[in-house]
Every structure is written in structure tokens, then in C-alpha cells.
Structure 1
Amino acid sequence: MTVAAPLDLLKQARARFTQREIAAHVGKDIKTVRRWEKGETPCPSMLEPALRDLLHSSGRTKAGAVTGGTQFRFIDLFAGIGGIRMGFEAQGGDCVFTSEWNDFSTKTYRENYPADGEHALIGDIVSFPAEEVPSHDVLLGGFPCQPFSIAGVSKKNALGRPHGFECTTQGTLFFDVARIIAAKRPAAFLLENVKNLLSHDKGRTFDVILQTLRDELGYEVHYRVVDGQHFTPQHRERIIIVGFRGKTSFSWDDLRLPESGPRLGSILHRTDGSEPVLPWDHDRFFDHAAKRVQPKYTLTPNLWTYLQNYAAKHRAAGNGFGFGMAYPDSVTRTLSARYHKDGSEILVYQGEQLRPRRLTPRECARLMGFPDTFRIPVSDTQAYRQFGNSVVMPVMREVARIMLPHVQNLLAAQTRHGSKQTLSLYS
């Protein structure tokens, strides 16, 4: 039997099933299915019976709900490189729509989540009609923080005139989250942002967000600041806002946050010969023959002198500014999008005889909780920006875990009640 036969069956199956469903049915990882589709590895002939069996099954219920491995459908807004998506896929979610405006981030996203014809990856969400967004159970979005105009709302309040989120939030990217929630009414949402969102514009920005989600859109809303250092060796506090279209017993106390997280040494390239050889990295970041990080990541003499003098100047002035030296037993400072400039917030100590070095982009991926299977197809500069703007993926995976039972309960209740606004009837 030739390889072409199972490959043809795979193509037929992809017309009806997601990659995740196929992977679950044949007992393989979803990335393996992606490699078959891209022709990177041959689709084994021994899978022909399993693929034929899948094609003969009904696959989807009349309501459109996916059977098998998929438990809910979600959309990924302000997607970046897909960190939030990866966390929710790990809990059985199926991404049906993506929006990301940055071309470099889109390149990385497509490399790791190949376009498969099942859902669109669009650019700027601002001009995209909400009605054309596919129906979904969960909306995800790491939206940028922007100030809102409060003056117009206050004036309308004084005049006794009604106002809504469209008036309050128009012109901000949060408005696009709100209009999609209003149009599609998902069972739940997760929004992620920097911790400072709580105090942004003296707290007014966050007040408008809560008012919009709770009062205007009618969702039960919970929020909490979570530090990524429970899962990766990085102090990274982010606010996570979750909401449900209905009453739930959701509690942040259900989060499983390890008291003692990993240390920096766990994500650094290993120089003892055990560093894995990744075919998509080759020797880009690590010289496997020499068993060392590529020398280009060590600071130049001029940059190291500059950073030391800069730190000394601020110490003399009584300020705390300066570089952050990191050791194998360290929990690092927060990785920022500006890391490519000088790496000053996280400098890896290399002994007294060597200048410190930056983290490599692969180490940055690990610091954010991305697996080594995650591919980095862009330049180092763009990679540093992308990981600095991303999320600690294991945090998203854990939040998805505690959200899932409540999403399922809402969907089940909605189906029982037979509402005209059934949450799981997909378009």
C-alpha cells in the first residue's frame, strides 16, 4: 500500500473534521497531523483503517457540536503568537477564528497553527463586521490598554440620558471586544492585560470595562492578578478577566498555583551535551558541536560598559534603575518587548571571566511556557518583541481548566432550555 492512500483519506477527513479531532481518533499528537498535511512527514499507511472509520462516522451532532476531543469552540482576538490559544487548546478547545494585525506575529502564528481552511485569520479586527465572526462558546482576547473618554458619559448622566458601551468605549480596541460579545453572545470570555490596567487613568479605564461587561452586556465577571512565576521562572503579573453568560459558581480559589515554581536553570540551554537538537532551530541559538550558546548573545564590551555605568549613575542618585543579573536559581524580572535593545532586565550570568549574555529567543519561548515544538520563523528582534508581548502559556492553560466546567454547564443548560439564542448552535 502506498503512502498516497492514507494521505488522500486524510485530505477527505479534513473536509469534515478538525486536526484535533483527527489526532484524537488516530491516537496521535495534533502537531503530527499538521506535519502530515504539510508534507513534512509521510502519513503512515497503517492509519488507513482508522481514517476510513472516522470518515464513516457522523462526526457532528445536529446541533453542530463537535464530538470526540473538541469540547468547546473559541475565537482568538489580538492573538499575537497564540499563547492564549495554546492554553485553551490544551483543554479541548477548537479555534474557529483569529485576528492579529502585526505581520510578523501573523507569520509566527501561521507557522505554529497552519491555515487549514477551517477558520479565517484576519488582520485588524476594527473594520471587521461582528456578524461575520463565527459563533463560538468562548471569546479570548489580550486587548491593548487604552484610555476611555469619560466626559461624554458624565454629561449624559447629568442630563439623565441613557448611554451604552458604544458611546463609552468607541474608538478603543476594547470596543471591538464588546461589540463582538454583544453580537455573538458567547457562553464565556477571557480577557488578559497588564496589571496596571487596574490603575490606568486613575482606575477609570477598568471601571468602564467592568461596567460594560457587567451592566451593559449582562455577564457575570471575575478578575484576578496572576503571577506567572508559579509556572515559569519569571515574575510576570497579569490581570485576567473572565466572564460567563449566566450565574456560575466560578471561583479563583480553584486555581492550582504551585507554591514553589521552577528556576531559571530549568529553561537555559544545557551545556552538558543534553541540549535537544531541534530541527527547526538547528544551531541558530545553540552550537551543539561546541556545547555552548552562540557567542552573538554575549554582550559586547561597549554595551556591558554602558549598562554598568548607567546602573552606577542611578545608584548614586538613589534610584533603583539598572540591569537585572540572573543566575540559575533566579526568578527573573518581567520579559519586555524591548528586550532586543539591550537585554538589561534579564542578563544571564556567565562567570567572572565572561560578560553576561541575553537569553536566546528559544530560552524566551521557554520562559513564557511555550514547548520546544514552537517554531520561531522570524528574526531575533521580532522574536524578542513577540515573546515580550505574549502570555505565560501555562497560566492560560490553568485558567482554561477551571473555566471549562462552567462553560459546559452553561451550554448544557441552554440546550435543555431550548432557547432561541442557543449558545452551541454554530453558524
Structure 2
Amino acid sequence: MENNLNFIDLYAGIGGFRFAFEASGGICKFSSEWDKYSQLTYRAFHGETPFGDIHLVTDIKNQIPDHNILAAGFPCQPFSLAGVSKKNSLGRLHGFDDPTQGTEFFKIKEILRIKQPVAFLLENVKNLKSHDEGNTYRIITESLENVGYIFETKIIDASKWVPQHRERIFFIGFRNDLGISKKDIQNLFPEPPKERIYELENILIPESELQNKFGEKYTVGPGTWDTLLRHKKVHAEKGNGFGYGLISKPYSGKVTRTISARYHKDGAEILIEQKGRRPRRLTPLEACKIQGFPEECYKFFDGSVSQPVSDTQAYRQFGNSVAYPVIEAIASNMTELINSKNLLIDELVEINKTAV
């Protein structure tokens, strides 16, 4: 059957979700990312610049195209107030007492409410469940149910796919009039592969090659290294294990800490030991690979073509991004279910009935 599935890519970053759904034959109808540097990398990866701040979309019905799947790695903001004042709400959308007003999630919820796509895939940090004593998670789940969706969540550690601990919570949801059960949705969370797709020894550039190409560019400076050593000593004296994470040979089977958006500052979470010298950061190419991004992205960081952004911005972007193989596996499962149950055909029939 021809796959006519399409999707939108919100809070898109550098487009990990887009790669995943396109790998399953999906067509991206709309993307949005406010950060100008992420837009540059997104354009390099995908050939188009995403729309900017999603909050500039004031007419969802007409400004957001129809789509089958909404995908978003949305930022988590506290829902500290159960509603906002009329003065601040500008009279838009769904009322003044909506507890998601003023948050990034509010826009996602409103797009789901108005456009009613077949399904959605959302990703966030694992601590979303415990944030604000569980109130944030409760409001999100109630909001998704109120706009007509059945869904399941699961925390997945990407370390079974890539050599990096990266625990994230995923929401997979379907419109509740399509006959999809919670068990159907639970089955869409992927089982880990029997063997890790990427291993650290295949990601890290050999020392001789690194030296020839970059010299000491990625070696941690003496002041930074002294600071990291001092911090680790202080934490050790307090009886905890906080401090930098150092990876040494042999690399086989080893898994790093989570790369984060602050990696550009000192590389503390993932440092690579260099015998006789201070340790080094990952290169941007290695950061790309440790997130499992497709090979077509490598050329932008291996010197084949111009790098779209500075190293600092590249680190921020990969630290904020997704472990791509996990997203790809979920997207594949979702697409297979949608096609096997002819949900797009059924949706078309319902639309035609409504039009008549």
C-alpha cells in the first residue's frame, strides 16, 4: 500500500524526529524551531529552514497544515499557575483558566485539539513525571485526554542503541475514535536490539588521526582541568560520586554519561582519556555519532563541507537533541500500525462524511 503518511515537526531542534519519520516514508508538512543556530543546522540536514517561534502562529486552523502525526520534543516548563489573567492571555484559543497557558505544551495541546491528527509522539526528560510533585505530568495527561487522545508513556534509556546513557520519557498517542487500545500503543515502544547499533570504539576518532587533524584543539585546557579535578575532590570528600566522567581504553562495551546542552562549557560529562596528556572533549562529529544521527549528517562535521555552526553551537544542539535510533524505531512502529489498520483511509472517509 502506498504510504501517504505526513507529519509536523515541532520544537524541531536539528530535526531528529524528521529523519525518523522520513525513514518510514513520511512527508514533513511543517516544522518549527525558534533558535537561529539550530535553524542553520536543520537547513543543512533537511534542505529547508523551519518556521520560527511557534507562538507566532495565531491561527492554528489555517497556519498549520493538516497532518497525520504531530512530533515534538517539547521543552518542559512549570505549570505553577492554574490559569493566567485575561490581560496576559490576549483572548486566544481555549479559555483563560487552562492550566497549560503560558507553557510550550499549551501550543501542542491546542494544535492537537484543533487539527486532530491521527497520532502524536512527544519526548521529554524523564523527570517530567516527578516535576512539581507530579502536577506537571498530571496536567499534561489530563490535557491530552481532554482533547481526545488515548496514549501511553514509557521511559527508555538509549544506551541499548548507542553507547550513552540517555533516559527520556516518550508519549505515544492516538485519537480515541480510531479503535486503538492502550495495549496496541504499548507494543509500539521498541524492544532494544540484540546488539548495540553503535559502539564507542567505532565512534571515537583514533588518537593519531585526531592529533594530525586537530592537534590539541579538543584537549581540555589546564585551567578547566584543574577546576574539574578540584570539584571532583570536593564531591569525593562529601562522599558522593559527582564530578567529571572519564572514559579510558579499552572502549569495548563502555557507555558514557548523558551528553547535555552544557557540554560546550567543559565537556565534564564525557571526557576521553589521553595518555600523558589532559583528557579531551568529543569532537562535534563524535557528538553527532554518539546520538546515532544518520551517516548523511557526518559530512557537515568531518571537514567534507562547511560546518553549519560553530563547535559551541553544535555541542548545544546535539546535547539538546534525541538519540536518533530510538526515535527511528518508534516512528517505524507507529507507521506500521497506522498503515496496517488503514487509519489514514478511515480518517479520509470520516472527513468526507463530515464534508457531506
- The TM tier, using the shorter chain, reads 0.7 to 0.9
Alignment check: 8 A CA contact 2:83 2:101 kept:
no
The match for 2:127 is: 196
The match for 2:116 is: 185
Q: Deviation at 1:183?
A: 1.3
Query: Could you report, residue by residue, the CA deviation over 1:256-278 in whole angstroms, capped at 9, with x for unpaired residues?
Result: 312542432121113577xxxxx
Q: Where in structure 2 are the equivalents of 1:313-392 lying within 5 Å?
A: 313-327=234-248, 328-329=251-252, 330-351=254-275, 353-374=276-297, 375=300, 376-392=307-323
Q: Deviation at 1:168?
A: 2.0
CA distance in 2, matches of 1:88, 1:165: 35
CA distance in 1, matches of 2:263, 2:237: 25
Deviates more, 1:305-314 or 1:198-207: 305-314
The match for 2:202 is: 266
CA distance in 2, matches of 1:354, 1:198: 42
The match for 2:13 is: 80
Q: 1:301 to 1:314 in 2, by over 3 A?
A: same
Match of 1:124 among 53, 56, 63: 53
The match for 1:48 is: none
Alignment check: 8 A CA contact 2:83 2:100 kept:
no
Alignment check: 8 A CA contact 1:325 1:347 kept:
yes
The match for 1:29 is: none
The match for 1:300 is: 221
The match for 2:160 is: 230
CA distance in 1, matches of 2:127, 2:335: 27
Alignment check: 8 A CA contact 2:72 2:121 kept:
yes
The match for 1:252 is: 186
Q: Deviation at 1:197?
A: 0.6
Q: Deviation at 1:418?
A: 5.9
Q: 1:103 to 1:152 in 2, by over 3 A?
A: closer
1:81 is matched by which residue type in structure 2? I
CA distance in 1, matches of 2:290, 2:155: 19
CA distance in 2, matches of 1:272, 1:315: 34
The match for 2:37 is: 104
Q: Deviation at 1:294?
A: 3.8
Alignment check: 8 A CA contact 1:224 1:239 kept:
yes
CA distance in 2, matches of 1:75, 1:294: 42
Deviates more, 1:293-302 or 1:101-110: 293-302
CA distance in 2, matches of 1:134, 1:407: 19
CA distance in 1, matches of 2:16, 2:286: 15
2:205 is matched by which residue type in structure 1? H
Q: Deviation at 1:306?
A: 1.9
Pair 1:243 & 2:170 matched: no
Pair 1:145 & 2:76 matched: yes
Q: Provide the secondary structure at the position in 2 that maps to 1:382.
A: helix
CA distance in 1, matches of 2:96, 2:259: 33
Q: 1:310 to 1:263 in 2, by over 3 A?
A: same
Q: 1:225 to 1:88 in 2, by over 3 A?
A: same
CA distance in 1, matches of 2:16, 2:259: 15
The match for 1:207 is: 138
Alignment check: 8 A CA contact 1:149 1:169 kept:
no
In structure 1, stretches of 5+ residues that fail to align are: 1-66, 154-162, 274-285, 423-427
Per the normalisation by structure 1, the TM-score is: 0.71
Q: Provide the secondary structure at the position in 2 that maps to 1:224.
A: strand
CA distance in 2, matches of 1:265, 1:336: 21
CA distance in 2, matches of 1:144, 1:104: 17
Q: 1:349 to 1:416 in 2, by over 3 A?
A: same
Q: Deviation at 1:293?
A: 4.9
Q: Provide the secondary structure at the position in 1 that maps to 2:153.
A: strand
CA distance in 1, matches of 2:139, 2:352: 30
2:268 is matched by which residue type in structure 1? S
Q: Deviation at 1:112?
A: 1.2
CA distance in 2, matches of 1:420, 1:335: 49
The match for 2:91 is: none
Q: Provide the secondary structure at the position in 2 that maps to 1:126.
A: helix
Q: Provide the secondary structure at the position in 1 that maps to 2:156.
A: strand
Alignment check: 8 A CA contact 1:137 1:188 kept:
yes
Q: Deviation at 1:88?
A: 1.0
Alignment check: 8 A CA contact 1:165 1:175 kept:
no
Q: 1:103 to 1:393 in 2, by over 3 A?
A: same
Q: Deviation at 1:400?
A: 0.6
CA distance in 1, matches of 2:4, 2:172: 18
Q: Deviation at 1:417?
A: 5.2
Q: 1:350 to 1:182 in 2, by over 3 A?
A: same
Q: Deviation at 1:251?
A: 3.9
The match for 1:33 is: none
Per the normalisation by structure 2, the TM-score is: 0.85
In structure 2, stretches of 5+ residues that fail to align are: 85-93, 301-306
Deviates more, 1:95-104 or 1:164-173: 164-173
Q: Provide the secondary structure at the position in 2 that maps to 1:355.
A: strand
Q: Deviation at 1:150?
A: 5.3
2:54 is matched by which residue type in structure 1? I
Q: Provide the secondary structure at the position in 1 that maps to 2:98.
A: helix
Alignment check: 8 A CA contact 2:225 2:278 kept:
yes
CA distance in 1, matches of 2:205, 2:47: 28
